Structure 1
Amino acid sequence: MTRRPTLKLLVLVPALALVLAGCGDDSGDGGEAGNGGPELVNEGTLTNCTGLPYKPFEYEENGEVIGFDIDLVQMVADKLGVEQEVIDTPFDGIQSGADFNSGKCDISSAGMTITDERKQNIDFSDPYFEATQALVAKKGSGIADITDLGGKKLGAQNSTTGFDYANENAEGADIVNFEDLGLLLTAVESGQVDAGINDNGVLYDWVKEKTDFQVVKEFDTGEQYGMGVRKGNTALLDVVNEVLAEAQSSGEYDRLYEKWFGTKPPAK
């Protein structure tokens, strides 16, 4: 498939103004980033690399990047007393560590599963979301499981755990690789592929509007999302983990979860 020729730069104006007990910085002088805190790629800015669209985690609406992940990173930016800037970039550059090593970004919130392979390239925050792989297909297609795809086309997203799962388990299927989730779901809707595999959260969100389609199967892959930073960037990682812990204890995490997913987080 054709890769996007250029990167799309999107600046998120922090109008969110999230209030988190113990998380704010009212000094207005750059926060921890300017006072012995984490060094940032661009002074006064927390640069967040992500791959759009990945609704409801990160997507563009009316010229602004919004979503569950974006709100969480905004808390980190608020803690540091800086603005958040979002860069849309192919996912492979994130999970390989290339975008961090080249100085493109400080952090990545991209619905990214923590894996041992990725840990070799980047450092992860504490887990903040549980996910699993799922299969989406048109209603009445006769597809109920990945084993029904022999001789059929299965769409998967490049460099993702869904792509890996498809290659390991979709015996006899023709796996079609797509650069991002938007292209993958467009192919499912148009019939270019017979089914698509990706994380359950984004697929369930998609079928709310695309009512001719359904999530036909979930696979118990036991995945957890983490935010990524450059290998060895413990100063920033410590702040991210502190913010996530405070969000959990204050109830702000639950509020954001319900805002973006329409339900309370599953009980642990």
Structure 2
Amino acid sequence: MLPALAIAVAGCGNSETPSGNTGGSSGAAAPNVQLVNAGQLTNCTGLPYKPFEFEDGGKVVGFDIDLMDLVAKKLGVKQEVVDTPFDGIQSGADFNSGKCDLSSAGMTITDKRKENIDFSDPYFDATQALVVKKGSGLDDLAKLKGKKLGVQNTTTGQEYAEKNAAGAELVTFEDLGLLLTAVETGQVDAGINDNGVLYDWVKEKTGFEVSKEFDTGEQYGIGLKKGNADLLKVINDVLKEAKSSGEYDKIYEKWFGKKPE
């Protein structure tokens, strides 16, 4: 397992802004919120997951990162992003060990994950999709019988494939980047993952296409340690304020090229 990569995200907070004290308090904006590191909001995520979170020029950016900048601003601190394997996030281990305060990781809210972590209110609708080489004719899971289907470890895409891709050989990858590289190089015949990241990928990889969407009705939520009610309230308040003020729409359009439907 590779060491975690910690990258500061600029643009929220400065030396004159109230920040957390040595006791973990976040300052005047939300005095009851306890942070794992004083003066910063530590966000665990799994890179790359473009356009939600990815590294660009040595800095982690993306839709989720911009939203968490709003939370950090509300708390009067800066955001710090930690790149970590996704399993440690969804299992709750990263929160229980004090590695991070929250996780914005394009993470679907599921009952299974709720056993280990708490979720914010939903902030993004998603569904599973299939990405293939153009002209392959692979536009349904049934057509992958006897072929290799790439899945990302411990994701809802993997779960969906295990239940519905009968006859396909599932090949598991630790992160989205490795999965998409396997699709591009022909190591696998197709890949399954959330539609948002796949549509973003095929914008640049014009020899590939999203051939099928599956109506899984998923919604993303911000994850955090079970019982952390004070931080949960701040996150939900920020998401609500961003949607009512139009700030959410601006961030959405910045990363997806259009306003949410």
Distance 1:186 1:177 in 2: 13
Length-normalised TM-score, structure 1: 0.92
1:28 to 11, 14, 17: 17
| Contact 1:156 1:197 (8 Å CA) reproduced | yes
CA distance change for structure 1 residues 87 and 26 in 2, over 3 Å: closer, same or farther? closer
Distance 1:105 1:26 in 2: 22
Distance 2:18 2:194 in 1: 39
Measured after TM superposition, the shift of residue 27 of structure 1 is: 7.0
Q: Secondary structure at the match of 1:239?
A: helix
2:61 to 44, 56, 66: 66
Match of 2:8 in 1: 11
| Mapping 1:60-209, distance limit 5 Å | 60-209=55-204
Please tell me the root mean square deviation across aligned C-alpha atoms, in Å.
1.5
| Contact 1:25 1:78 (8 Å CA) reproduced | no
Match of 1:256 in 2: 251
CA distance change for structure 1 residues 79 and 27 in 2, over 3 Å: closer, same or farther? farther
Q: Secondary structure at the match of 2:137?
A: coil
Q: Secondary structure at the match of 1:33?
A: coil
Measured after TM superposition, the shift of residue 8 of structure 1 is: 1.9
Match of 1:50 in 2: 45
The code of the aligned residue for 2:176 comes to: L
Match of 1:20 in 2: none
Distance 1:245 1:25 in 2: 25
Gap runs ≥5 in structure 2: none
Match of 1:21 in 2: none
Distance 2:141 2:258 in 1: 28
- Superposed CA deviations along residues 223-261 of structure 1, whole A, max 9, x for unmatched, are 000001100000000000000000000000001100000
The code of the aligned residue for 2:200 comes to: D
Distance 1:63 1:5 in 2: 17
The code of the aligned residue for 2:45 comes to: T
Corresponding pairs, count? 255
| Contact 2:14 2:78 (8 Å CA) reproduced | no
Q: Secondary structure at the match of 2:26?
A: helix
Distance 2:114 2:16 in 1: 35
Length-normalised TM-score, structure 2: 0.95
Q: Secondary structure at the match of 1:202?
A: helix
Q: Secondary structure at the match of 2:217?
A: strand
Distance 1:38 1:29 in 2: 13
Distance 2:109 2:205 in 1: 29
Is 2:212 aligned against 1:223? no
Distance 2:15 2:74 in 1: 9
Distance 2:139 2:34 in 1: 49
